[in-house]
Structure formats: C-alpha cells, structure tokens
Structure 1
C-alpha cells in the first residue's frame, strides 16, 4: 500500500491545481505571440523609457561597471552610469543574450509565473491551507498573476507574496534556508526605490506590532529583514554609491510639488477615491470590486456571534488602513508642496509609493473574506470575478487580443511599428553615406517621438525620459527649449517643476509625445536654440512633425523617411554650418 502511495505521489503533484493554473497562464500568454515583432507592449512609462536604459548599458558593456567616473554615452551625452538601474537585475541579463522584445516578453512571463507560484504557496500554507481549498488557491493565484502592472520593475508587486511567505516561515521557525534565499532573490528582482523601501518599512511595522502584542521579539524574521536590506544594498550598489559619495546633484532636487499639484480638497478627495477603488497604474490598477463584495457578503452571511465579530474587526482594521493610505496618497502632492521648503528631501523621494503594497493587501481582504464565506457558489463567483477584472483591465493583454482580432487602435502601435528599425536604419545609413559619420560621432534629439526610440535604434540622444540625472544637465538642456517653454506655461511647469521627460518640446504639440505618421502634422513656429544644441554635440533633430520654417532656427532639411508599417513619418533636420 505504501508503494502504491509513493508511486501516485508524483502523479498527484503533476495534476495539482497549481499546474493547471500555470498552464492557463501560458495559454493566456500566447496572446502576445506575433511575427516580426508585431506585439503590443505598454508604451507610456514603459517602452518609452524602461527598455532603452538596459539596452544602452549592454551595448556599451557597462551593466556591471560601477566606477564613479563611468558614463553611458548613448544617454544624455554621457549620463553617469550610477544614475541607472543595477546590472544584476534579470531584465538586464536577458538583454545580454536576447534582442529587446524577446527579452521583455520572456521577462514578463517569468515575473507572472513567479507571482502565481508565490501567491499559491502563501495561500496553501497560511491563507487557505485546507485540502479542499487547493483549486480555489490556484485560481486566486492565476487572478493575481494576470493583474495589470509594469513588469519591467520585476517582481516589485507580483513577488510580494514570496516575501510574506518567507517572513511567516521564519516567524514559525521553518524553511529557514529557502526563506533567506527567497528574500535575496526578491532584492535582486525588484526595485528598491519603488517597492523595496516600503516592503521593509511595512514588515518592520508589522514585526514591531507583533513584538508588542506577544511581549517578545521574533528574531528570525528580523534577521530576514536584515538579509533583505543587505541584499538590496549589494544589488542597488550604483544608487547607494551615488548617494553616499554624492557623485552628482540629482535633478529631483528641483521637484516642485506646489506647482505640480492642482485643485484643493475636492481634487484630493477624487484622487484618494481613485487610489482606494482602482489603485495606481504603476503598481497595478484594477477595480477593487471583488474584495469589497466578498467582505460585504462574508459579514452579511456569517451567522451572528464571535466569529462574525472577529471578522468584522479584522476587515475594519484592514480596510481602514487602506482608506487611510488612499487619503495620504491622494493629498500627498498638496501636503509635500506645503512643506517642501522646510523638508527638502521630500522633493526627491516619493513616500506615496506605499501604494505598491496595496494590491497584495486587497487580495488579503479577499482571502480573509472567502475563508469565512459560507456559500461555496458565492465564493467561486467572486474569485472568477476577480480573475476577469484583472484580465480585463490588463491593457497589454486586451490590446493584444484586439490585435489578434484586427482591431488594434491606430493610437497604440505594436513594438515593430513603434521602434521602426527599418525606418531608422535608413536614416543611419544615409547619414553615414553622406557625411562619413557613424552614430557615435554625433548627437541627436527627438521632436514628437520618445528619445527611447532613437536609443533602441543605436543613436546617441541628448534627450531622454529619466527619473534621475544631473541637475546641471537639466539647466543646460533647458537652453535648447527655453523659447517653447516661454510660449506654454503648462510645458514650463511640466519641465521646470518635474523634468523627468527631458525632451524637445513644442508649444503647438503640447504634451503629445507620440505624433503618428497620419494625419501629418506641421509645426508652424518652433523656437529652438540651435547654437546651444551644437555646443552639446547636437547635429540632427529627428522629428515626427514637419517644421514649416526650419531655417528660422538654423536648421535645414536633411531628408524625410517612411517605411512600411512604421508608426512615424520622419523628418531629419541638420544644423547649418
């Protein structure tokens, strides 16, 4: 009998519900498959910034070069290497062996698989450990894995269940080695500034409360936090080194929340409501309907008694914390704007990123409610609802579904159309044929298209979308666009009070940074400081719009370019002289 049980164990493992969830995720991921790069991936704050940096690091062989004097020449005329993401992150490593699109897609799949398995093992051990809950845990894990989010940040959000699993293990005195390895892996595969600091802070608060409640300190999870923090210090060495050694003055010191925030109490309340009901898009924006309905149903259907009172207390505390955090995030720009002169560090570090913890907290509300919900049909309805909400609000997935159906919006280009390698190859080749200059010998800047497109096509760009770069460079670059900033108070505030998008601006285009080939756009008047551009090494302006009077700014048309399937109609202007 024991031999039969031993032989059937692998079979039970193979058909375990989690593997069906993994298979479902793999099938859902087939929606991304397309020939010749015709896959849609998120553009805003993603393709227009997150792939260009590791690509430039790998092209220059500087991913692991942390010397203080090292610069990345392809970015912003020599951006300090230590201002950029660490070279130990998996996405950077994948770009060493794969082209950008396959590297991104494989990384996304790995992040979502890690998220699925993480929530499953957490639920099976601590959330819903009963044997009959295995299928429920698998579907919940799948619902977690398909949430919308920015997977370029690694497991910053979807990997948090692993951190909780590891800390709970250490608190219970089990799985010590694997728990420490998980914490080190999370530090390697997530962002310190976006999630790591807040995971450490939240875990520290939890352990402090736990020590107060139990009148003793749980040392093992405390050591685990030390391992997590130490791993972050090792992985994020570029950032830590630049801060400790003051390698450069960051442009973030000029963030001005008083100018960026708009509206009064009403605007703050609206923003808080969005944080509470939808979350923030970088950290996964999805409607919190299923957790709220589950909480209401559990409290309503559970018979009156101590169990119902305990559930009500737990849900009240958890929902109260989420509501308080939503208010904090909603009013954060206004609060910081009022105190930024007294507390300058608040300009540079965004404390509202505690919202990166809220997706897991909302799944905690959902699981806590489902544990007490007496109606099995209602339980499954709510879990399926959460799965459909997450999938339906996952823009990458839904737009790839529309692409498969031939209904991709014209405003949302595929990767191949956005990067347009054939179009930019024409430009590079013609410049080299006519001038003898390879891309490393001159600098470009972009108008009407993200500079990341130029970087991914091996140009050396003066402009970029960066969340950390030297303040003197911002002041120097401003000379190029001062005339257009003077014409547009909105763009002037956008650049002077924020400036992460260090772009060529046009008052006529406003914040339209993606000007498609059709309909053709023409800028009638463009004030551009060509001498300052030339002093920075600038030679060509790659423009997605036609300039009506380029000669007024000291430019002349070098050529115009089109390519089948490209999102852009490109005009290239050359500095005279």
Structure 2
C-alpha cells in the first residue's frame, strides 16, 4: 500500500514540475527569465556561436562577430555540451525550456534515488523523499550551469553505490553522461575533489583502498577532461595574457568576510540559490536541538557532519575574498585566475540532504511531528513556486522585449550596410542585445579575452574611468564586462525606454573608437553633449515590443 502511495506522490511531483516549467513553453518570447548571466550573456553567446560556423572550430579559432575577431572560440566552451547543440537546433526559448526540463527532472530523480537508497530508506518516509526531491528540483539554479550543481545528487548516488561495491553499468552510465551536461569549473571540480577526500578518509580510517571507488573518481574526472578539452588546452598551452589575469579577488577586511559568511549561510548565493532561509533553516536548527538534547551524536553523525560542513563552506566562500590572501595570490597567480570559492557550490546538495535528514529526525519525535513533516515539505515546495522565474522577474523585460529583434532589424535596415562592414558599441544596455541581433560589437561580456584588447578598449573610456573609482576598479580588476562605462551611469546598463536619465558630461575617446573600427553607438539614453564627443544623432528608434529607446549615434 505504501509503495502505491509513494508512486502516486512521484507522479504528482512530475505533474507539478511540468506545470512549473510550462510558462517557458506557453509564453515563449513573452516569458520573463533571469537577465544576469543569462539574457545578458549566455543566451546571446549560444546564438552567436551557432551562427559563427565555429561550433566545431579548432582551439585556435576566433569568433569574428565579437571584439574584432579577437575572442577565442575556446571562450564559449565545449561543443561536447548538449546545451550548445540545443541552441543550435532550436529557437532560443525552446532550447531554454528543454534545458530547464532536462536539468530539473534529472535533479528530481537524482535526489530521489540518493535519498531512497542512502539517506532516507524505509517504506513510510516517501513523503520526505518525494517532497525534498521536488523542492530541490525547483530551486532557481543558474540556467547555463545545467547539471553542474543539480546533477550532484545523481552523481553521488552512483559514487556511493560503487563505494558499496555495487558496480552496475547504470552507475558508470551516470558518470559518463553527466559531464555532457555539466561544467567542471562551475561545480564538478569541487564535487570530485570532495569525493576524492571522502575516498582518502575511508583509506585513513582503515576501510581499505577500495579501488573500484577510486577508479570511478578517476573515470569521471577523465571524462570531464575530454569533454572540457578546450579549457584544458587554454590552461596548459595558451600563454597569451587574458582578462582573467587581472582578476583580483582578495580585497575584503576580516569583519567584512565574517559578515559575508553569515550572509551566504542564511541567504545563499546568486548562482546557487537554495531558498532555504524561511523554511529549511529553522527545520535544520530544530533537528539539531533534538540531536543535542537526546545526545544522538553517534546515531546522527551524518547529519552533524553535514550541518557543520554547510557552515564551513560559507566561511570558506567568504574568506576566499579576505585580503589576507594577498601575499599568497601574488606568488601563486592561479589562485586569482581560478575561483576556489566555488566549493560553496556543494551547498545545494548538502542543504537539501540535510533538510531530508532533519525531517526524518522530526518524524521520529512522535505523532505530532509525523503529521507536521508533510506540511513542512509542502511549505517549501509552495515557497519555491513563488521562486519561478515568471514570478521573480515579472517586472523585468520579457525575452522578446529584451532582445527587441524587430527594433534592431529596423536599425540594421536604416544603416543599410552589411553588418560585417562596421562595428558598434552600446551605452546603457547590454552589448549582448546587439550581438544577438547579428551586429559586430567592440564591447562584450566575456571573462576570457586578450588583455591587449582590454587595454586598447580602455582608451575609449579612460576619462570616464578616471572620474569614478567604482567603475575603474570594476573594469581594471576584473574587466569581464568590457562595456562603454560612464561615470554618470556607473554599473547600470539597463535603462528602459521610460527612463528620464540623460548623459550630460560624457567624455569618450571617439578617435580611439574609430581607430578600432567603431562606427555607431546604440545608446539607451540621450547624450546631451554628443557633438563634443564627435557624435551625430542619426535617429531614435522605438517599438511597443521593445524595452528600449535606442538613440543611434554615428562617430563623425
């Protein structure tokens, strides 16, 4: 009877997850989705890559549409990732919806298998397994991260099976396929090193060398290295200085790091949102109190370990940015170029496994708690319904309004030249919009491009950077956003058509812009001193279907 009930719960979860995904497919370009590190970058990159003809390009290939062809093909990742092909085969929002579906359903079944086999066994706890798995699958993960974090439960299920000497082909199939839809630098480097430490601890504790477990770790690492061969090549053989070489992370004071530790612990991080503050965190504390009062430390050692690790990962994340690292990062440059703070990307897995174990602990406290556990699981699922992108970003431009295809087609027709014959840059809007619409841009959002180009581009905005320390530090000590920054606008680049903002004291090096091939600026706001900058207003473009009012300025 219980098994039938659990099957019904699984079917209900599948239906709810399908409904959760449905706005993307129903609304299409009218859907509202994340802008940061999504619409402003990755979704445009996939389209540019597909149209460049360089999906299968060599490690030396370049993307001609961006920064005068100086952007390496390697900056757009591997062609062995399915997400690249989804965007090559389908329109943007179909590809996006399919990617969301793949990720969330793998997340659900991965967590469900992990809990049922290794953490929450037993026939009468199906509501915990299904409820927690559904909640985990609904978390607002970073879309282009794919299974980088949400695939960890399935990978852990396979590794724990192998650790227990269950060498089924299913385990190795999981370890083979996940690298085709995940990123090693956005999650699995940290997961695999943690699993490696787990294996080593087993050895130290006298549990034997367990060579099948060790081989499985090496095997998945090897698959990732093959899939991410472009990344491996760039790291080992490409010695051209790039923008990552000027990324400096260690700048927080001790107390700022302490504050960030607690902020990350209770709220989470933008790229690995867990939405755990309101429901899950109190449940973890209550479960911990029960363990403490009943002194069940040994019986609940997994819970206690994960409880402590969850906090330590937040501390690690925050103190990675502590300026006390400076003497070491100055000697070992790779500590700046590789983001070791991302061990906190393990937290979604840990938090939701902790949530399940906490509900199990409360379940065991008596009839009242046993009746409350389903309500707690449901409360977290309901909370996550409100974390749906369509709800969270309802006041942001829709996909169609953001990319404004018809409006930019009108601009292209007005200019009347082949897009390959001139270069543009954007002010007050993301350059990804122009890139998505086929324009060749001098500006871009990429964290891996030649340092020489960064220096040349900097000359265009040098006077503006000198007027504003925030944007100067942002550009000089990171530079991933190679934008036309201005002192008056600061780090804001989404001025919609109803904005009253204007640029009054703009100082651009237009001669440098033209020397780099620049011809036009797409400005979201009027430039009052355009003539002083050698710019002529050609036309203002508006559209009901667009979020922007584009002022087309020509460099005279």
Using structure 1 for the length normalisation, give the TM-score.
Answer: 0.90
* Partner-residue secondary structure (3-state), 1:444: strand
- The yes-or-no answer on 1:344 pairing with 2:338 is no
* Counterpart residue number, 1:475: 455
**Greater shift after overlay, 118-127 or 418-427?**
118-127
Q: Secondary structure at the match of 1:333?
A: coil
What corresponds to 2:371 in structure 1?
377
- 1:48 counterpart = 2:48: no
1:391 matched to which residue of 2? 385
Q: Within 5 A, what are the aligned runs for 1:415-426?
A: 415-426=399-410
1:138 aligns with 2:118: no
Following superposition, the deviation at residue 118 of structure 1 comes to 0.8
Is the counterpart of residue 277 in structure 1 residue 277 in structure 2?
no
Structure 1 contact 84–239 (Cα < 8 Å) conserved = no
2:540–2:551: 8 Å Cα contact kept in structure 1?
A: yes
The alpha-carbon deviation at position 19 of structure 1 amounts to 2.4
What corresponds to 2:89 in structure 1? 97
Residue matched to 2:350:
361
Q: Residues 62 and 365 of structure 1: is their aligned pair in 2 closer, same or farther, counting only changes over 3 Å?
A: same
1:12: Cα distance to partner? 5.7
Deviations 1:363-421 (A, max 9, x none): 122222223322312322332233234333x2514236xxxxxxx32xx1111111111
Structure 1 residue 350: Cα displacement:
0.9
Task: Give the structure 2 partner of residue 152 of structure 1.
Answer: 144
Report if the CA contact (8 A) 1:108-1:152 is conserved. Answer: no
Counterpart among 211, 214, 223 of residue 219 in structure 1: 211
Aligned to 1:523: 503
Mapped contact 1:80–1:469 kept (Cα < 8 A): yes
Q: Is the 8 A contact 2:428 2:525 kept in 1?
A: yes
In 2 relative to 1, CA 376–175 (structure 1 residues): closer, same or farther, beyond 3 Å? farther
Matched, 1:268 2:257: yes
- 1:228 to partner: Cα distance: 1.1
* CA displacement, residues 141-177 of structure 1 (integer Å, 9 cap, x when unaligned): 1100111111211111111101101101111222532
Q: Does 1:557 align with 2:534?
A: no
Q: Distance in 2 between matches of 1:268 and 1:384?
A: 35
Aligned-pair distance for 1:474?
A: 0.9
Alignment of structure 1 residues 137-536 onto 2, 5 Å = 137-246=129-238, 248-258=240-250, 261-262=251-252, 264-301=253-290, 308-311=296-299, 313-334=301-322, 335-373=324-362, 374=364, 375-392=369-386, 394=387, 396-399=389-392, 408-409=394-395, 412-432=396-416, 437-536=417-516
Separation (CA, whole Å) in 2 of partners of 1:353 and 1:572: 41
CA distance in 2, matches of 1:54, 1:47: 11
Rounded to whole Å, the distance in 2 between the matches of 1:397 and 1:310 is 44
Do the aligned partners of 1:256 and 1:337 also contact (CA within 8 Å) in 2?
Answer: no
Counterpart for residue 123 of structure 1:
115
Gaps of 5+ in 1: 1-7, 401-407
What SS is found at the alignment partner of 1:157?
A: helix
Q: How does 1:8-87 map to 2 (within 5 A)?
A: 15-35=7-27, 37-65=29-57, 67-78=58-69, 79-87=71-79
Pairs aligned (count): 548
Does the CA contact (< 8 Å) of 1:541 and 1:573 recur in 2? yes
The RMSD of aligned alpha carbons is 2.2
Between the aligned partners of 1:388 and 1:338, the Cα distance in structure 2 is 47
Question: In the TM superposition, what whole-angstrom CA distance separates every residue of 1:19-38 from its partner, at most 9, and x where no partner exists?
Answer: 22111100122233444611
Q: Distance in 2 between matches of 1:251 and 1:556?
A: 32
**TM-score (norm. length: structure 2):** 0.94
Q: Distance in 1 between matches of 2:275 and 2:300?
A: 24
Q: Deviations over 1:52-82 (max 9, x none)?
A: 11211110121121x2331001122211111
- Secondary structure, in 3 states, of the residue corresponding to 2:222? helix
